[in-house]
Structure formats: C-alpha cells, structure tokens
Amino acid sequence: MAVDDKNISYRIYLVAVFIFVMAIAIVVKLTNIQWVEGDYYRKLAKQRTVRNFVIPANKGNIYSADGSLLATSIPNYEIRFDAKAPKTETFEKHVKALSDSLATVLDKSGSYFEKELRKARANKNRYYLIARNLSYTEYVKIKGFPLFNLGAFKGGIIIEQETVRKHPIGKIAERTIGYDRIDPATGVEVGKGIEWAFKSYLNGKDGKILKQKIAKGQWKPIRDVNEVDPQDGFDVISTIDVFIQDIAHHALLKQLEEYEADHGCVVVMETETGHVKAISNLGRAEDGSYYETTNYAVAESHEPGSTFKLVDLMAILEDKVADTSTVFDSRGGEVRYYGRAVRDSHRGGYGKISLARGFELSSNTVMVQAVYDNYKSNPSKFVNHINSYGLNKTLGLHFQGEGRPYIPQPGDKHWSGVSLPWMAFGYGVSVTPMQTLALYNSIANNGVMVKPQFVSEIKEWNKTIKKFDVEVINPKVCSPETIKKVRAVLLNVVKKGTGSKLYSKDFSMAGKTGTAQVNYGGKEGKSGLYYASSFVGYFPADHPKYSCIVVVHKPNTSKNNYYGADVAGPVFKRIAQKIFTDAPSTNKIKKLDSRVPKQDSSYDKYYAVEANKKSNQVPDLKGMPGMDAIALLENLGLKVKVNGVGKVKKQSLQAGENISKNTTIVLELS
C-alpha cells in the first residue's frame, strides 16, 4: 500500500507541476498578447468588426455646347434570388404572384418564371439570376413585387449594383468623348478622349463611412456622419455641337461607304475660338461597316500632299521672292532634282502659268520650282517659316496619343538634296489633320492661329469652376497683305481650280484639295503605297465662320477616282451647305439650362419624382435633350422610340394626353 501511495503522490506532483507550468505559459501568453502583440490583435479584431466602406462619388456629366448629354453615369442593377432563404409556407404563398409580376417587366411568361423559381428552390440555388442590366425604374418595381418585398432574409432577393457610363448620342464622336476605366486584364487605369483628359474634374473624390459588423454578416454605420464625405465630380461642357456633329458624321460615312475607303476623318472648327464643333473618325471593319476606331484627326501623322502647298505660298509671298503674278514654266509637267522626277497630275503640264494659277491647279512643278529656285541656297529660311507656323511640334492638345509631326531640318542626318523640293509638294514631311486645319484656320482668322479646343468650361450645376479661354498659338502667322492674297487664291481654287466641282454661286467656300500617295518612296515600295484624299478650307469665304478638314484614306482605286476634290471635297460641301441651310435661325451656342438637376445616382431618381406629379398625362417634351426625355417617359410607363439625335423636335403623343401603360411614343430629335 505504501508503494502505491508513493506512486500516487508522484503522479499528483507531476500533474500539479504540469498545471503550474501551463498556468505560467498561459500567463506569459496573455501578457505577450496584451502588451507585446496587443496592438496587432486589437487592429485585427477591429478590421473584422469595424471597417471603412467607400462611398463612391457621382461622376460628372459631359455635355454638348447646347446642353445635350454626351456622357452620363447611370446605375445598372442585377437581381438574383436566394431560393433557400424564404420559408416553405412563405415561398408557396407568394411564388405565383411573384412569377406573374416578373412577367409584366421581363420578356417571359409567368409560367416560365414559376417553373424556374421552383427549380431553383429544389436545387437549393442561392444565387439564381432573375435579370441583369436593369434601369433604376425596373429595379424599384421588381423590389416591390410579392416575396421580394420581404427583403433579403425573408424574401431571398439579392441586389447588385454597378455604375455604367452611357453615351446618349450613341457611337457618334465616341473616340473624342472617350472613356476612363480599369483594364480587367492588368488592373491598370486606361482611357482616351475627354473622359480621360478631364478625369480629375469628372471623377470627383470618393468618401468613407465607418461601419460595424452585426448579426448575419450585415454592416451598420457606427455614426450618423461620414468619416469623409464624397465630393461629386464636376460637369464638363464640350465644344461639340450635336447638330453639326450629326451632319459631319453622316457626310463622312456616306463617302467612305461609296468609295469603300479604309478610314477617314472630318473636323469642323469655329474660326475665331478654335472650338471643335464636330469631329468624326471612322474605320472600316471586316464586314464593311464603319465605326469609331482611332482618333485619326488627332493621332494620325502622315504625308499631307498638296494641302501642304499653303506653306509654300505663304513663305514666298511673305519673303517677297515672288508674287502671285510671277510666271513659271511647268516644263511639260515634269522637273527633275538629283535624278528624281516631280510630275504634275495633268499629263503634259500647264505650260507657262502664274504662281497663283499654279496653286489653284495644284501644279507640283510650279510650286516646287517656286520654292527650290528661291530657297536652294538657304533652305533654313524656308523651313523656319514652317517652324513658325508650329508644324514642327504637336499642338499640345489635352488628349493622349497626339500624333508627332516631322519636318526635316537642314543639317539633320536625314536632310538631302531632295528634301527641299519634296516638302514643297507635301512629301518627306508628316503632319496630323488637326495641324493642317489649324494652319488653314489661321488664314480664315486673319493670321491669328488658335489652338483647337474640345472643352469650353467646367461647371458645378450652373456655377463655372474653370473656363477655357481662346488660346493663341501664333498671333500673326504672316502679314495682312499676304493673308489677303492667299485668301483670294484659296477662293479661286473652288471657283476655277481643282475644287471647281464644289463651286456654288449661292454659297462661297475657300480651300485646297490634296491627293497624297502615302508611303511614297517607303520601304514597302509600290505594295505599301495608297492614296489619301483631302480637302481643307473654310466657309463662308468672305466672312469665315467655320474651318473644316476632310481626309479619306485608301479609297478604292477600282472606281477610277481618288482625287481630293472628288472623294473628300463633297463631304466638305455637304457639311458647309447643311450647316447654313438646315441650321436653326438662332445658330448660336446655347448655355446649359440651370434647371437641369445635378445627377444623384442617376437622372431616373429625379424624373421618378417629377413624373409622379402628373403621372397620368404625357408631358411637353419639346426642347428637352433626348436622353432626359427617354428617362422621364420610361418612368411614366411608356415605351419610347427615337429618331435622330439632339433635342426633342416632335412627339407622337401630344402633351396633356392621358397615359395608357406600355403605349409607344415616338420622338423626333433635331
């Protein structure tokens, strides 16, 4: 017995020692947690129970010059169903009514939805898709349907929301309006156009709210105030005129389709301000259709061909080395420099003609001789004129990817004997259409070169945050005397020169045709060579209001016509005539209506309130921007069809008529 008692005592001591050691270890651990690792664990606990949630800022809108919406953010809703959430008796009580209600909003029958909902419940599907891409109005309706109106835990409704950027005028000017988004592949922010260039104004600043985790994975705000209040983005007022934009887009599209061209661009700019009123860039898809691909007007730098001859005429007249009346011999339509030929498009040349007539007929031999003979001993003098026009550097536009020009400089490693004569007829140099337009616009603007602008101001409601004033690049590109002579010659190009097919006695235009062989002398040889047809000028010729450039790349040569006057010229003429024959009598830039409400999460919320005031009558929509009218009508339960872009000109249902749900109303926009 004594031995057994002794063994028991040892065991008790061992257990006691073990317990004591464990107690010491626990005390040490608790002390370590409390004092050494305390901050870490307190922070971890707080992260799991208290968290800062982001309150997204409302992104600003982009408006046209007359107040029409070009880009706006609206909420996009997706609704799913947790089929396990409702109790059996609750599900059975409401499933039929829910199915019939869904059928009134979504394009499927009530029996279909009942079958699918029962199937989801049988399969214990906790994430069954009901509908996606829903508007705010549709989301509100569905959330109020039987069963779903019981909420997430009793009714099983799951709501997911994202904000999407919409372009109410569709694909027109899409590349200029641009985008600002996160690349899903890289996670890097990418963008183009106005959206990207002015994102610091548009995006605003996100806010933060502190929430605490409560039962069932829900989070509840800790305080009634935000940690950081969100700051909504400002609105950007672009210079684009929807009316002119629509004209330019369709005029270019028609010509590209007719000539099966690869791509093209058109820009219409207000002469005095440099405000770009319209810009369209269309590229050809594999199926033959055209869409906005690249901002060719801004990004594509290429050999301009004969439109570059304007710099010849300006430099020669400014230096007084020749006058418009100086006679040159076209030498049978061919002159040679260092073994390379410069030829006129008219076989046999034009005989002996004046410098002005050589420009009007776009004679390569005349213009090249005029430049080479007068500047061969001092080519820097001629090139310095080009540099003074700003053609050797970018315009400094806000947009990313502005094409870089190339003007060879005497003394450079690429300068050769043919550099001077070749640049005289637009080869061996490279400029963007926007640069060429800026130069011609300076002639229309009495010698003042202004920077092209796409945005006029930044606004918060009706308060101006920043105004973009006219930016002068060069206050005097040449003397008034030279301006006067050049404008007379540009007018004659249309009256009796290469642009004579465009002449109209009822409407005056001035400009220059261009037909360039792109990749002329390039590494690809003849296989890489193609034509680029262009026309650039201004209208009306006597008191210029707008300047315009049209460039069409790679027209189908099988149609036996690729000249600038025939391919690009008609686009210019169509735009000019339509602006002044079809435009409203008050063809002025209108200011934004200060009554337009600031977007909350969408305009739909505002219109939902407004519509309820007279929810049984058709409103008067005339003069309202198309996108706004659509939002209002859909909130009233009407179906909407739209013809055209811009503001409402006509409506098929008259104001004051009683509304019948699901009736279709047709809007004509101007």
Q: What percent of the chain stands above pLDDT 70?
A: 86
How far is 605 from 656, CA to CA, in rounded Å?
A: 22
Residue 243: alpha-carbon gap to chain centroid: 17
Confidence of residue 344 (pLDDT cuts 50, 70, 90): very high
pLDDT given for residue 585 in this prediction: 41
Higher pLDDT, 219 or 236: 236
Question: Over the stretch 223-275, which tens digit does the pLDDT of each residue have?
Answer: 666 778 888 899 999 999 999 999 999 999 999 999 999 999 999 999 999 99
pLDDT given for residue 43 in this prediction: 60
pLDDT given for residue 607 in this prediction: 38
Least Cα distance to 539 among 357, 238, 269 occurs for 269
pLDDT given for residue 559 in this prediction: 67
pLDDT given for residue 536 in this prediction: 98
How far is 366 from 158, CA to CA, in rounded Å?
A: 76
Which range, of 66-70, 93-97, 475-479, 594-598, averages the lowest pLDDT?
Answer: 594-598
Q: Hey, what are 154's tokens? A: 């009793």
Residue pair 266/279 in contact (Cβ under 8 Å)? The answer is yes
CA distances from 533 to 125, 190, 262 (A): 61, 33, 12
Residue pair 517/342 in contact (Cβ under 8 Å)? The answer is no
pLDDT given for residue 601 in this prediction: 35
Burial annotation 251-261 (CB, 10 A radius, 16+ → b, else e): bbbebbeebeb
Residue 316: alpha-carbon gap to chain centroid: 40
Confidence of residue 53 (pLDDT cuts 50, 70, 90): confident
Q: Under 8 Å CB-to-CB from 443, ≥6 apart: which residues?
A: 310, 477, 483, 486, 487, 490, 538
What counts of helices (H) and strands (E) characterise the chain?
Answer: 22, 27
Burial annotation 42-62 (CB, 10 A radius, 16+ → b, else e): eeeeeeeeeeeeeeebbbbbb
How far is 450 from 389, CA to CA, in rounded Å?
A: 11
Whats the size of the chain, residue-wise? 670
The dihedral of CA 593, 598, 602, 604: what is its sign?
negative
Residue 601: alpha-carbon gap to chain centroid: 22
Confidence of residue 368 (pLDDT cuts 50, 70, 90): very high
Residue pair 312/371 in contact (Cβ under 8 Å)? The answer is yes
pLDDT given for residue 2 in this prediction: 58
pLDDT given for residue 4 in this prediction: 61
Confidence of residue 646 (pLDDT cuts 50, 70, 90): low
Question: Over the stretch 387-423, which tens digit does the pLDDT of each residue have?
Answer: 999 999 999 998 888 999 999 999 999 899 999 999 9
How far is 448 from 451, CA to CA, in rounded Å?
A: 10
CA distances from 458 to 65, 200, 463 (A): 12, 11, 9
Residue pair 145/98 in contact (Cβ under 8 Å)? The answer is yes
pLDDT average, residue stretch 302-316: 97
Confidence of residue 670 (pLDDT cuts 50, 70, 90): low
CA distances from 74 to 167, 227, 612, 626 (A): 11, 25, 20, 15
pLDDT given for residue 38 in this prediction: 61
Least Cα distance to 195 among 396, 398, 468 occurs for 398
How far is 617 from 655, CA to CA, in rounded Å?
A: 7
pLDDT given for residue 175 in this prediction: 85
pLDDT average, residue stretch 613-642: 73
